[in-house]
Amino acid sequence: MIKQPTILIIDDEKTIRDSFAMYLEDYGYQIRVAENGRVGLEMFEQEHPDLVLVDLRMPEIGGIEVLSRISKELSPHTPLIVFSGTGNITDAIIALRSGAWDYVLKPVEDLSILIYRIEESLEKARLIQENQNFQENLLQMVAEKTQELTESEKRFRTIAENIPGGTLIVGTDRHIRDVNAATCKLTGYTRDELIGQPCDIICPSESTLNGCLVWKNEQDDFRGIYTTLKTKDKGERIIIKNISKIEFEGKTWILENFQDITKRIEMEKQLHRQEQLAAVGQLASGIAHDFRNLLSTIILYAQLSQRLPDLPQTLTENLENIVNESYKATDLIQQILDFSSRSIIKQQPLDLSAFTNDVLDILKRVIPENIHLNLKTGPQTYIVNADSGRMQQAITNLAINSRDAMPEGGALSFTFSRIETIPEELPPVADMPPGKWVYLTVSDTGIGMTEEVQKHLFEPFFTTKNAEEGTGLGLAQVYGIIRLHKGFIRVESELGTGTTFHIYLPLYEKKTEEKDAKAKETSHTPLLGQGETILLAEDKATLREASQSLLESLGYQVLTAKDGDEALTICQSHQVDLVITDLIMPKMGGKELAIELMKILPQLKVLIITGHALRADDINSFQKTNFAGIIHKPFTLDNFSQIVGEALGKGR
């Protein structure tokens, strides 16, 4: 049975120690915990863990001293990861210089990132140890066989050809003495093409004689060096290598052994980019929620004014313009929420290839005739669990983006296939789990993009167009919609060649017969009340006042509360027919209020107002109460009156 790695967690906060320990134990790691640096160092010397997670600031012995003691005295090759809540760049630099391998900020919002950092550090340690073991074994074999050159070379060739990494031997004249098959495969050269050539044919400047670390620093070896390797096709591969100076046949040689880590580095960059976009999305979601509250107030007051009798024509038109422009602002907020992956969606099984064909038929009206649209599918089905409205928006945004990149015309292709990712292989996109995926590529023959543009492509409000030509939200919205459906997206582009978006969505395999539901017809005439008493709980004063005016204009008696605590008190002292509460409020939120009301007034129904997408656990909590429905911000007079009326048992 394979022994699982042991992780030592050193932190003076018990809750953090316990939560990290529980999470990591679920992933199969063996966990040891220490409440301070002194105890942590004692446990390290006794148990020799495979990795250490250490807090930066602790009493008695702080994280910096723990790092220094372990990295310089006890075990230089043990991975050390620091976590800290300060966010101070100086702290990060000092920690890394003191021996830390990585640095993680507290609180860790997404613990999967911590798992990724741990696995990355353990893998690096394994590679360094593997390379070191190989160097030691190789040097020992060379030393033992110097008496018989032919036999020595034969043995060396057998070993070198069968190790997983590349091997390179360079003489003091800067020329390559020997290479193994892995080096040839990685560089694209044959062995004959490399032997006898100057080493800079494949090595960067720091590996040549004048810049080589072994010669330059007069040391015999270096471990775990990150560098690059040139290839025959003018490309580069990122490698981690060990360099050693060896004596053989009375001559001095440089022996290099390396592993190709290009794909791993690319995965790290993608993951870092996803973390950046997630942070921007969290900020954007908060801003969008605030704007939804403001728009709800604007729309309600405008619609209340529209109901006044004998309005002048000019004022009527002005109010209509206010409402219409507010709806446009609502659409803009929807794009921001799509980017942040916090939109409210209704998913159902969807044949994405057939659906895309229907969308392209509609898009032919806005795509010029000099752009050839092409849809390619295979014999398989491409079913995903998706919100058709959001998917149509994503496909439309991608098509419009490609259209704008081909002012002189060209080709736009949508190609469907299916792939399966497995744990043993690196996925196409960082953090993409194993499973079956519908794989869609959207390719154009347009002007392409620079690498710098690609770095910022999915950021909200980033655009290379003029201000009047776009908001810079189109591709940000696509990114958010794909992530909202638990999918992944990446882009490849080259100036003058074109652009390809690679989209991966989880394959939906459940065999169910779907039926189209008829849309519920709603009247534009508001449902009126008959003097029922409604308690309205909303912490935003302007929205509370506007909603109160609206309810009173519909014929209801209204009691108001600024938070859940006040609402609960009012319900206990007044006869209330319905409670309408905002989801997020100070002191006591809407979910907690509904739960408490269920205990004391089990027949009293509750409507929830929110501008956020509700999580599954929120919905489950509501189902255990007298939950009567959701009112999404921003709401209008008609849909507000309709939902309230239905909650009170009224109907059309």
Say how far apart CA 211 and CA 406 lie, in whole Å.
47
- Do 465 and 498 belong to one domain? yes
> What's residue 517's pLDDT?
34
| Start-to-end Cα distance in the chain | 68
For residue 200, give its domain range: 129-260
User: Cα–Cα distances in Å, from 34 out to 41, 42, 108, 165, 333?
Assistant: 9, 9, 19, 38, 47
Q: Work out the angle between the directed axes of helices 541-553 and 262-306 (0-180°, nearest 10).
A: 50
Residue 381 falls inside a structural domain: yes
Counted domains in the chain = 5
Q: Verify that 62 and 174 share a domain, yes or no.
A: no
The set of residues, in sequence order, having a beta carbon less than 8 Å from that of 554 and lying 6+ positions away, is: 526, 527, 528, 529, 641, 644
64 Cβ contact partners less than 8 Å away, ≥ 6 residues apart? 56, 94, 95, 98
Residue 123 lies in a domain: no
- Summary mean pLDDT of the chain: 81
Residue 120 in any domain: the answer is no
- Read off the CATH number of the domain in which 51 is found: 3.40.50.2300
Q: By the 8 A CB rule, do 168 and 177 touch?
A: no
Q: Which of 25-34, 230-239, 412-421, 579-588 has the lowest mean pLDDT?
A: 230-239
**What is the CA angle 107-111-114, rounded to 5?**
90
Residue 128 has pLDDT above 80, yes or no: yes
Categorize the per-residue pLDDT at 411 as very low, low, confident or very high, splitting at 50, 70 and 90: very high
643 occurs within a structural domain? yes
Q: Are 104 and 83 in contact (CB under 8 A)?
A: yes
Structure tokens at 515: 């039926």
Confidence of residue 514 (pLDDT cuts 50, 70, 90): very low
Cβ–Cβ under 8 Å, residues 404 and 465: yes
Residue 518 reports pLDDT greater than 50? no
Let me know whether 252 and 309 are in one domain: no
Tally Cβ neighbours within 10 Å of residue 504. Answer: 22
For residue 160, the model assigns a pLDDT of 58
Q: Answer yes or no: do 142 and 234 share one domain.
A: yes
Q: Using 50, 70 and 90 to split pLDDT, how confident is the model at 523?
A: very low
Q: Which amino acid is at 61?
A: I
CATH of residue 145's domain is 3.30.450.20
Share of the chain above pLDDT 70, in %: 80
Using the 3D structure, point to which of 298, 314, 338 is the last residue of a domain. Answer: 338
For residue 266, tell me if it sits in a domain: no
- SS3 at position 429: coil
Is the domain of 66 the same as that of 203? Answer: no
Q: Inform me whether the pLDDT recorded for 20 exceeds 70.
A: yes
The most distant pair of C-alpha atoms in the chain lies apart, rounded to whole Å, by 112
Q: What's the CA gap between 304 and 484, in Å, rounded?
A: 35
Does residue 99 fall inside a structural domain?
yes
Please indicate, yes or no, if residue 521 is contained in any of the structural domains: no
Do 357 and 493 fall into the same domain? yes
Which residue shows structure tokens 């052994």? 257
Q: 365 with 235, same domain? A: no
* Residues 490 and 374 grouped into a single domain: yes
Do 495 and 555 sit in the same domain of this protein? Answer: no
> Is residue 361 assigned to a domain?
yes
Task: Report whether pLDDT(417) > 90.
Answer: yes
Least confident of 216-230, 298-312, 335-349, 468-482: 335-349
In terms of pLDDT, which residue wins out, 642 or 165?
642
Q: What is the reported pLDDT for 511?
A: 47
Residue range 310-333: mean pLDDT, rounded: 81
Of 389, 396, 386, which Cα lies nearest the Cα of 438?
386
Q: What confidence tens digit (pLDDT) does each residue in 150-173 have?
A: 565 665 566 556 666 787 888 877
Per-residue confidence (pLDDT) for residue 7, from 0 to 100: 94
Instruction: Say which CATH number the domain at 397 has.
Output: 3.30.565.10
Residues 287 and 249 in one domain: no
Question: What integer pLDDT is reported at residue 332 of this predicted model?
Answer: 66
Instruction: Name the pTM for this structure.
Output: 0.42
The residue assigned the tokens 């190790």 is: 163
Question: Could you say which of 81, 109, 137 is where a domain stops?
Answer: 109
Residue 42, pLDDT score: 92
Task: Say yes or no: 365 and 497 in one domain.
Answer: yes
Note whether 244 and 280 are same-domain residues. Answer: no
Please identify, among 211, 238, 260, the residue that sits at the C-terminal boundary of a domain: 260
- The SS3 call for residue 279 is helix
Q: Which residues pair with 351 in a beta bridge?
A: 383
